[in-house]
Chains A and B, each alone.
Chain A
Amino acid sequence: MTRAVRIGLLVLGAGFGVVAYRAQINGLGTTVLHVPGPSGTHTVGPFTTSGRSFAVVAVGIAFIAAGAIAWSTRYRNRIAPLMIATGFLWLARQLRYSHNSALFTLFFLFGDLAYAMAGHVALAYPSGRVRDKWELWLVRAGYTSVLLFNFLILLFYDGNVRLHQFDPSKRRSFLLFWANDAVALKIQEIFVAFFYGLLASLFIALIVRRFIQATPRARRLLAPLLLAVAVAALRSVWECIFTFVDRPPSIAYNELFWWQIFGFIAFLIAIVDGLLRARLAHAGVGDLVLELERTPQHRLGETLSRALRDRTLEIAFWVPNRGEYVDAFGRTIVLPTDGIRAVTKLDSDGEPVAALIHDPSLLEDPTLVGAAAAAARLSLENARLHAETRAQLAQVQESRARIVTAADEERRRIERDIHDGAQQRLVALGLQLRSAQRTAGAADDPQLRKLLEGTIAELQVAVDELRELARGVHPAILTEDGLCAALEALATRSPFPIALDVEDERLPEPVEATAYFVACEALANVGKHSSASNVTVEAHRHNGVLTVEIDDDGVGGASAQNGSGLRGLADRVEALGGRLVIDSPDGGGTRIVAEIPCAS
């Protein structure tokens, strides 16, 4: 909407306002009437004053002005036309007080649509659409009831009684079908009870329900508006109650009038406040461009969260080769589909880049999310590549860990096969040979006995070698009893003394196996190269990390680079997300530390 159209609308509204003002002042009159009755003369009125008529007209013009402002912002084509229409209807409604029969009939029939439409605006805020079935029902009931009841009243109204909110002047209905003012008044009472009583109460209930069900972000935005409309609707309920009080005190009518005026003004202020907040949010997106330059990629989510004023916002990056979304650290994210969280997907040249997981209330202003996404586009692309790389690294890491686990399992299987297969057969063979040796001894055949002795000795060597091989592949004690027992067994058969300080607890198998083989390799190096006299092995778990430390006071000079076997172990430790540190200055002993993450 151009500026000229907006000004034109306001001028038109002001013109309508003048007409409405005059219609109300002339129609209702500002004088006090003295009406004779059975118990004496009593005073009625005034039914309006210049101040009250001015206030009524001001509300109508304010609706038009707020609608024009809304049309120039994000609410165009939705709530803005409703607001402008409400303003004009509100002003037009005042023409029903005219003594001209045509104007009275027309605007009595359609004038109350302004109230129904004001309720519609409140229920449609901020998206402009009413989606909830109860809210839809209420809006339809509002429109239908104002038309139906006022039509029925006009069928019976003969002008001899004072209608609700009217002065006692006689007016003529063009739709008069059967002159019966008592029926007309009864219908109006039912209308007041239904519209101002029942529907207004339902309206308050739905507003309260909407507030309770709103997400925290939506609640912050909706709170002023919902409070204002609830107060305005409460006034209608009071009006209904006072209608059925026989002789309401005039103060009550006066209070109710200004309650109505201030209720509508609060309603409009809340809408303008919402518009200002939306503009501020858009301004925040403008600042985003500058802020992004200073934001590290892993904090992109926080920056967008601040700009969009949604503390719950998360970013998911698309990884094409995995066909899934990941977070900034490469961890898989499943996009929510439950409706509790909303998702806005961001594409670039038709290819997915990222998805924003956010509060559903942001969907009411898609241009805001779009503007933020556009501002962050380059950063999002970079962050996506970053996340993709992290995801690939995580994949490689997982793959390395799986390889280590699979290799350990294979080692265990080989050890079991050796133990259950060849080793058992050779042992049984040895026993049979020794039985044969005894039999041969009894037969006193020295040649055979010698042959058997040699065979048994060779077989024993083979059994020993096979046992050592099996132990080196994967010691059974490690599987059966864990790291502590395995290191104790290792220390027991070590040719040099080893001081052990190891916690006796079970850990995940890959962690135990890695820690054990690190200690084995380090101790093998001590035996081969270091000439150490004091060797200590320690293993302790702290904060989810198992630290294995092997110290000796030997010649030092160990390195993971010279093919000592430590390189392979360093790879193995890193495959589990840990690290191997070797501190081995020449002549200064060797300290090997493996830090291995372990969940338990």
Chain B
Amino acid sequence: MICKLGIRVRPVVKAAATCDHLLVAVSVLIVDDHPAFRASVRAMLELDGFEVVGEAEDGTSGIEQAGALEPDVVLLDVALPDMSGFDVAEQLAPATKVVLTSSRQAFDFGRRVRSSRALGFIPKDDLSGDALRRLTETP
């Protein structure tokens, strides 16, 4: 949430039991063209103490929203309708932390995951708040 004064307000995490070491929620932008997946991952991440600040259904709107919302993390699907998630990551990272995800596995993309500017890759079926936190909190 961005107030009119331009001060960024981050509410204290409500579900303190699951992430009691955090005082401030990590903001996330979800970029994926499947509405069902976006809804599921939003529910799961919010339950895990993340703040989902926005959703985008393609690469172009993902880049626009990342600029406007300045999320801490962009959870980015590799297969987008208008452009590749790798190309979106090239534009956003390293200014923004980008985590790639896909229903395929990392080796299905060969060297592209390793050579990408993203923090890392989480297969969609392994996605969880903890998995995302492990990647984003790695120095």
A interface list, Cβ under 8 A from B: 419-420, 423-432, 434-435, 438-439, 442, 460, 463, 467, 470-471, 475-477, 480-481, 485-486, 488-489, 492-493
Q: Which residue of B lies closest to A439 (CB)?
A: B47
CB of B111 within 8 Å of the partner chain:
yes
Chain A residues closer than 8 Å to B18, beta-carbon distance: 438
- With known contacts A428-B34, A476-B104, A485–B110 Cβ distance under 8 A: yes
Which of B103, B105, B127, B128 interacts with A424 by CB under 8 Å? B103
Q: Which residues of B contact A481 (CB under 8 A)?
A: 109-110, 112
Complex interface bits, B27-56 against A, C-beta within 8 A gives 1, otherwise 0 = 000000010110111011001100000000
Across the interface, B103 reaches (CB within 8 A) one of A427, A435, A438, A460, namely A427
Asked if A435 and B108 sit within 8 Å, CB to CB, the answer is: no
Do residues B37 and A428 form an inter-chain contact, with CB atoms below 8 A? yes
Taking a contact as CB atoms closer than 8 A, the residue among A424, A463, A475 that contacts B36 in the complex is A424
Collect the chain B residues with CB atoms within 8 Å of residue A434's CB.
Answer: 44, 128
Q: State the CA gap A228–B136 with chains docked (Å).
A: 97
Chain A residues, CB < 8 A from B108: 471, 475-477, 489
Q: Can you list, as one digit per residue, whether each of B90-134 has a CB less than 8 Å from chain A (1) or not (0)?
A: 000000000000011101111110000000000011011000000
Contact B104 A419 (CB under 8 A): yes
User: Could you count the A-B residue pairs with CB atoms below 8 Å apart for me: how many are there?
Assistant: 79
Contact A431 B37 (CB under 8 A): yes
Q: Are B79 and A431 in contact (CB under 8 A)?
A: no
Chain B interface residue count, CB cutoff 8 Å, equals: 27
Interface set of B (CB-CB < 8 Å, partner A): 17-18, 34, 36-37, 39-41, 43-44, 47-48, 79, 84, 103-105, 107-112, 124-125, 127-128
How far apart are the CA atoms of A426 and B124 in the complex, in Å? 10
| B84 contact set on A, CB distance < 8 A | 480
Q: Once the chains are docked, how many angstroms separate the CA of A419 from the CA of B103?
A: 7
- Bound state CA distance, A425 and B103, in angstroms? 10
A424-B34 in contact (CB<8A):
yes
B110 touches A432 (CB 8 A): no
A460–B48 CA distance with the chains assembled, in angstroms: 21
Query: A425 to chain B: which residues have CB within 8 Å?
Result: 36
Give every chain B residue within 8 A of A442 (Cβ-Cβ): 17
**Residue of A at shortest CB range from B128?**
A434
Query: In the complex, A420 Cα to B37 Cα: how many Å?
Result: 11
Neighbouring A residues of B125 by C-beta, 8 Å: 426-427, 430, 460, 463
